[in-house]
Structure 1
Amino acid sequence: MKKRMMVTGADGFLGSRIAAYYEKKYEVIRAGRSDLNITDENAVAEFLREKTPAAVIHCAAISDVGTCENNPELSETVNLYGTVNLAKACKESGIKLLFMSSDQIYAGSRLERPNLETDQIPLINVYGRHKKQAEEKILEILPDGICLRLSWMYDFPVRGLKSSNNLLARLLKAMLQNQPICLPVHDYRGITWVQEVVKNIEPAMELPGGIYNFGSESTCSSYETGIQVLGLLAHNNDKRKLVLPNEDSFAGGIRNLAMDIGKLKSQGVDFPDTISGFEKCLENSPEYVMALLR
């Protein structure tokens, strides 16, 4: 009998890919928005008692930073209290919980090195604050809970799975329409191929409880990354000129979302760095690359 894995947010960008990837090995319980209201504590407890998964992969969230800023009560209800409801239900039923947290916790970082999980960073946006509070609540309720701080992710479009306006999509649009794209020069972050996150979910289930940076490392700005990736896509140095520097965003000082994944590596789980991840994505998607070169 296959082990059961439950995925919240199973109709979202990450959740849909996790569910699709693991459905051959696990009995995957897809809990999309229409299947389960995570803000209803009783409904969550009853759902988990009925489905009895071995692990819950919690991807459901209000993940748009701007939406959270404009609707802090909604963010708190879903991103914090919804997560607490799941943690309580997992504790009651003895279920493993993996929580998809965010590098936005580091949005206030001005460090000149990648951020560590133990760094005390000012919480300057609503989304990051609620993700941090959710981590703290999970580990109070479930000391063996696993909180994974994810970076910005990307993927080529996949039929039947949700797409997003990620960096790869934006660069493809710029190249195909021959229209410039502006990327900030003061914004440093790792950017991760979502399939690397997906395949590392299974080993992450075996991690000791705690918080882990979970994505590709980088020392490049978003602008520098865009230039390099567009060069990989186009094989044409002229196309790199489509990436223009945005000098205005974060001009008061760098924004550093870059993560150090040394703690994760010490447990035997690894990611390629940002540029290597893009190279790997392109190598694994030759049909898209060939279409671009026509």
Structure 2
Amino acid sequence: MKKILLTGGNGFFCTRFALRYKNTYEILSASSSMLDITNEENVTEIFESFKPDYVIHAAAKASTEFCDKNPELAYKINVTGALNVAKACKKSNSKMIFLSTEQVFNGNVDAGPYTEDDTPSPDTMYGKNKLEAEGLLKEVLDELWVVRFTWLLGMPERNCSMSPNILWGTLTDIMLGKKTKATPNEYRGLTYVHEVIDQFPMIFEIPYGIYHLGSHNDLSRYDICSLIFKEVGLEHRMNELLEKETEKYKDHHRDVRLCTDKIKSYGLEFSDSKDGIKKCLKEFKIKL
């Protein structure tokens, strides 16, 4: 049985991955209390003890606001921490998957979807951290996959962590009677987390390199929120509970969509965002 070490083991992706594959792989899902990625000695100890075949490096400070306000700490976690994991992979002959982000394209002025050959221009500290880490890791490891995720979405699940996502955020606002504000000037891929997890081991079989992963989306953030209202049977309450935020990104639309043709050529297929949302709502039998 192959061994997989998950960093950021208490996170949205890793808790679901560990449950899905608990009988397929020997998994060490390492939370920050078990594995301090900023402590190179601690990282080395965990690797020497567990001896992973694969490492999925998901640990990060992903909050844009936190990273912008705490640039030194963000760098220590997102860049130095990733390097410590890569160095340990090198010593233990472990293969590494580095989870990166669409946010490396935050500052690009051309419209997406972006391919792996497009030059990223991040304008947030988080995006800058991830892009720098991508480059530095490639200097340490040959056996490396860099996987840039679109925004993952999903529902609360037993023994799994949650993170902010457009589907659960919109549903939460509805249940609280709170108005959802959504801009028509933002476009990004939105991917059902289980579509990613169900296919993720296929990445172990494809060539090393950079890959964009997730769903394509032609709808704005406002359109997606409208879709959610309709799918849960609350279209009649949209005027009351959904507000179009026209000023946000008015001067320059935000478009961080990823072209995922490269990874699709290796057999990984994803619904487009609207169908992924419908699939999630159907699987969780959500109707309000």
TM-score, structure 1 as length reference: 0.93
One-letter identity of the residue aligned with 1:268: G
CA-based RMSD: 1.4
One-letter identity of the residue aligned with 1:40: N
For 2:264, the equivalent position in structure 1 comes to 265
Mapped pair 1:68 → 2:67: yes
Note the alpha carbon deviations across 1:210-262, whole angstroms, 9 max, x for none. Answer: 1111111112211111111221122x431333322111211220111111101
For 1:162, the equivalent position in structure 2 comes to 161
Note the alpha carbon deviations across 1:100-147, whole angstroms, 9 max, x for none. Answer: 101111111232331112211322010001101111112121123011
1:177 offset after TM fit, Å? 3.2
- Gapped regions of structure 1 (runs ≥ 5): none
1:20 offset after TM fit, Å? 1.4
One-letter identity of the residue aligned with 1:240: M
One-letter identity of the residue aligned with 1:130: N
2:184–2:223 CA contact under 8 A, matched in 1: yes
3-state secondary structure, aligned to 2:274:
helix
Task: Within 5 Å, give how 1:28-67 maps onto structure 2.
Answer: 28-67=27-66
For 1:237, the equivalent position in structure 2 comes to 235
Task: Within 5 Å, give how 1:1-294 maps onto structure 2.
Answer: 2-234=1-233, 236-241=234-239, 242-286=241-285, 289=286, 292-293=287-288
One-letter identity of the residue aligned with 1:238: H
Alpha-carbon distance in structure 2 between the residues aligned to 1:88 and 1:203: 24
Alpha-carbon distance in structure 2 between the residues aligned to 1:265 and 1:91: 29
3-state secondary structure, aligned to 2:205:
coil
2:112–2:256 CA contact under 8 A, matched in 1: no
1:4–1:26 CA contact under 8 A, matched in 2: yes
2:56–2:97 CA contact under 8 A, matched in 1: yes
Note the alpha carbon deviations across 1:54-113, whole angstroms, 9 max, x for none. Answer: 101111111111100000111110000100111111111111101110111111123233
Alpha-carbon distance in structure 2 between the residues aligned to 1:248 and 1:175: 23
3-state secondary structure, aligned to 2:202:
helix
Of 165-174 and 77-86, more deviation after overlay is shown by 165-174
1:153 offset after TM fit, Å? 1.5
3-state secondary structure, aligned to 2:91:
helix
3-state secondary structure, aligned to 2:88:
helix
- Paired positions, count: 287
3-state secondary structure, aligned to 2:41:
helix
Alpha-carbon distance in structure 1 between the residues aligned to 2:200 and 2:84: 22
Alpha-carbon distance in structure 2 between the residues aligned to 1:127 and 1:136: 15
One-letter identity of the residue aligned with 2:62: S
TM-score, structure 2 as length reference: 0.95
- Gapped regions of structure 2 (runs ≥ 5): none
Alpha-carbon distance in structure 2 between the residues aligned to 1:103 and 1:60: 16
One-letter identity of the residue aligned with 1:118: D
Alpha-carbon distance in structure 1 between the residues aligned to 2:281 and 2:119: 36
Alpha-carbon distance in structure 2 between the residues aligned to 1:97 and 1:194: 20
